Amino acid sequence: MSILLEVDHLKISARKDDDNLTPIVKGVSFNVARGEVIALIGESGSGKTTIALAALGYTKPGLEFTGGQVRLEGEDVITMASDQLRALRGQRVAYLAQSAAATFNPALTIGEQVTESCVLHGILNQEQANERAEFLYRALELPDPDRLGKRYPHQVSGGQLQRLMAATALCGKPDLLVLDEPTTALDVTTQIEVLKAFKSVIKQEGSAAIYVTHDLSVVAQIADHIVVLYAGEVQEHGSAEQVVSHPGHDYTRRLMHAVRPPPGAGQGEETSSEHHREAPALEVKDIVAGYGKTQNGIPSITVLRDVNVSIERGHTVGVIGESGCGKSTLARVMAGLLPAAQGKVLLDGETLKPALQRRSRGELQKVQFVFQMADTALNPRQRIDHILGRPLEFYLGLKGKEKRRRIGELLQMVELPQEFAGRYPEELSGGQKQRVNLARALAASPEVLLCDEVISALDSIVGANVIELLKRLRKQTGVSFVFISHDLSTVASFADEIVVLYAGRVVEKGATDAVLSPPYHPYTRLLISSVPELRVGWLEETMQTQEAQAGIDRVVTLTDTGCPFFDRCPLAIKDTCDRETAPARQLGAGHTIECHRSEAEFVH
């Protein structure tokens, strides 16, 4: 195979306000041959995106090339003039960004954006480009390919937009594709479909690709070669098979270690019962909630329907489901941020007022919320001791020395050094901020912590450490957790019980081991089977299964009648599932599945 792109001792630095240069990429070299997929992996800050963008001769604002060469077919792109670069971008090298939702212009039609580049470059005229786009829509299995081009980005789903971005990149038949975390923001079920589409199209078109990601399991499915990066330097470089099966470098092994096994029974810890009491710590009964005007107890946009969940003291309930299924809404109802239209929230067996404003200070103290984005949840103008001190004053009336002592304890609890008390959030890393965020919630000495996707924004290694911390805190304090995540593997290792939400309904719930082993609800089975495994060839095997073919990447519909999963379910019974509400089947010890099929039919 001939070499297409040579990255040769590439150096990129950031220019600070005081004109000092901080190196970001410190002399990285690797080659990309024609038709080959190279993966750049590493955690955030490793410089992987910066290196990938260099293939287009582009640096983000504030960064600049400080050394080395990036040669495309022998020609250095770093020193190219701007119209040479413009001719190269979109034509010879095409870029796919992480968030298609943000990178599609909301004011222009999809068709114009897909075909724009190759028409501007004069590769095709508008008519040919439209034909090519339509061909790509079909190849990427997008719905309604004849009319898709006339639609606007907000009219299609996130997974479809991500594939449309691939169509944009491929429209001009580029030699090299640069894919920047193209599936990270997607649900597992959508991710697998997008991965499959990317892989087959790359094969068909014979383009080479640079695939940037932090997810080793994804890399194993798509890459021929893997470059492992840390702090702007190459740690390890080899074929996918070799890096995944026989990692040579210590950092690679640590990355591998942070990859959790596919979710299954028996990964959690023993449920502790030492904090057990009569009434559950928190319980929601027959909750109906949503947004918009409420009429007759039904909100105009109903997100949750008849949801019952109870959290025993000291237990952790994991809530899983695809985006839009109502996970966050459930937490908001529990916290009182969104008063439910119907149903009750009980704390220690006592009914709570639905709205936050009407709850007493003592009730507020017992239920605390940990938000997903520590960046936005922590006030950037307040020092850490101020952030942690506020709930101590407000709920516990602590002042002066007593307060300072407690702040120290809290920092110790979340394994942060004492001197962090005097720092501002922006001086902390993402993982450290999430720890402060957690300490802030713990400061109130709560009985229930609502954790909404608390590790989703963190790298695998950092995220794994935060999970270890949560496990320890649970043991120490006896706090109950509601743990919301779209990452099944994490939930499997942390939760005692799991609630599976689909379109605002609880389709399955029970002890973790019971939910994650057969018999499964068909939706639970789809979720579990969509989690990528860290081995080469997993993607092809999975796509053959019945679940994958029936249920992946369909739009979730909220229905008033019948089972909402009906149109994606491989086991759906026509005229029953779409008409009648599914019965809740008791499968022993609190394990329920809502489905028309009987227990015997689930097992397969």
Partner 1 sequence: MLWRALLSRLGISLVTLWVVSVLIFIGTNLLPGDVAQIILGQMATPESTAALRAKLGLDKPPYLQYVVWLQNVAMGDLGISKAGLGAGLGTPIVEILEPRIFNTLRLTGLVTVIVIPISLFLGLIAAMHPGTRLDRAVTFSTLSLISVPDFLVATMLVLIFAVFLGWFPAIVYLRGDETGWVLIKTLAMPILTLVIVASSQIIRMTRATVLNVMSSPYIEMAILKGVPRKRIILRHALFNAVGPIVNVIALNLAWLVGGVVVVEQIFSYPGLAKLMVEGVLMRDLPLVQACAMIFCVTYIVLIFIADMATILSNPRLRHPK
| Interacting residues with partner 1 (CB under 8 A) | 53, 56, 58, 85-91, 94-95, 97, 99, 102-108, 116-117, 120-121, 151-152, 154-155, 168
Dihedral of the CA atoms 517, 520, 526, 529 (nearest 10)?
20
Handedness of CA 230, 234, 235, 238 (dihedral sign): positive
Shortest Cβ distance from residue 271 to partner 1 (Å)?
Answer: 44
Comparison of 120 and 256: residue with beta carbon closer to partner 1: 120
Give residue for tokens 């009730």. 363
The answer to whether the CB of 219 falls within 8 A of the CB of 47 is no
Shortest Cβ distance from residue 59 to partner 1 (Å)?
Answer: 11
Question: Which of these, 573, 595, 599, lies nearest to 583 by C-alpha position?
Answer: 595
Shortest Cβ distance from residue 39 to partner 1 (Å)?
Answer: 20
Comparison of 152 and 424: residue with beta carbon closer to partner 1: 152
Comparison of 151 and 254: residue with beta carbon closer to partner 1: 151
Q: Is the peptide bond before 519 cis (omega within 30 degrees of 0)?
A: yes
Phi/psi for 425 (5° steps) reads: -50, -35
Phi/psi for 550 (5° steps) reads: -80, -40
Shortest Cβ distance from residue 115 to partner 1 (Å)?
Answer: 11
Shortest Cβ distance from residue 102 to partner 1 (Å)?
Answer: 4
Shortest Cβ distance from residue 188 to partner 1 (Å)?
Answer: 24
Shortest Cβ distance from residue 211 to partner 1 (Å)?
Answer: 16
Comparison of 89 and 585: residue with beta carbon closer to partner 1: 89
Question: Which of these, 386, 423, 427, lies nearest to 407 by C-alpha position?
Answer: 386
Shortest Cβ distance from residue 99 to partner 1 (Å)?
Answer: 7
User: Using CA atoms, how far apart are residues 58 and 81, in angstroms rounded to an integer?
Assistant: 12
Question: Which of these, 129, 125, 215, 203, lies nearest to 167 by C-alpha position?
Answer: 129
Question: Which of these, 519, 528, 574, 561, lies nearest to 547 by C-alpha position?
Answer: 528
Question: Which of these, 192, 194, 190, 193, lies nearest to 179 by C-alpha position?
Answer: 194
Comparison of 293 and 574: residue with beta carbon closer to partner 1: 293
Q: Strand 75-76 vs strand 63-72: parallel, antiparallel, or unpaired?
A: antiparallel
Tokens of 429: 């890393």
Comparison of 123 and 373: residue with beta carbon closer to partner 1: 123
Comparison of 151 and 475: residue with beta carbon closer to partner 1: 151
Give residue for tokens 């990355």. 255
The answer to whether the CB of 216 falls within 8 A of the CB of 464 is no
